Amino acid sequence: MRKHSIHDITPALLVEPVLTDEDWREYERGWRLFNEQEYWHAHEAWENVWKRRPEESRIFFQGIIQLAAALHLLMVKRRYGGMMGNFEKAEKKLRLFPPCFLGVDVNKLLSFIAIARKEILRIGSGSLELFNRQLLPVVAVQRASRSSS
């Protein structure tokens, strides 16, 4: 099976997958951890879901995983290059999705990435510890009322 590049993806085909109850639990747990600024653990929760998803829209999970990785590198590891690379990869993937996907405000995530980059440029790569924590997003998940498998 050939791996697809992000450039091979047609956004119109990126429909919301029907998640299993287990997937929903992990997905929502990931957002709880994300909101608690436990970015590495959020990344791990979403990776469990991503690995089980066969459809093209699985790249949404890659995007939020990369966003969590960027925030972990910013807030914990203080690694500028990896952080900026993950922000860029996350943004490219998340831009493919509609404003609301799997109950999340994707535009809010994209807006945060832009704000974070601006703040990082303001403080400089050597002063990541000065990043304004008040800018960190808190994400609400609005689970659709339809039943899952």
Note whether residue 101 is domain-resident: yes
Alpha-carbon distance of 31 to 112, in angstroms, equals: 15
Q: Which amino acid belongs to residue 142?
A: Q
Can you give the pLDDT at residue 7? 67
Note whether residue 76 is domain-resident: yes
Note whether residue 117 is domain-resident: yes
Note whether residue 10 is domain-resident: no
14-24 residue pLDDT tens: 899 999 999 99
Q: Is the pLDDT of residue 8 over 80?
A: no
> Which residue range is the domain that position 113 belongs to?
19-135
Q: Are 64 and 109 in contact (CB under 8 A)?
A: yes
55-99 residue pLDDT tens: 999 999 999 999 999 999 999 999 999 999 999 999 999 999 999
Q: Is the pLDDT of residue 34 over 70?
A: yes
Note whether residue 28 is domain-resident: yes
112-146 residue pLDDT tens: 999 999 999 999 999 999 999 999 999 999 987 54
Q: Which amino acid belongs to residue 122?
A: R
CATH number of the domain that residue 43 is part of: 1.10.3450.10
- The count of structural domains within the chain is 1
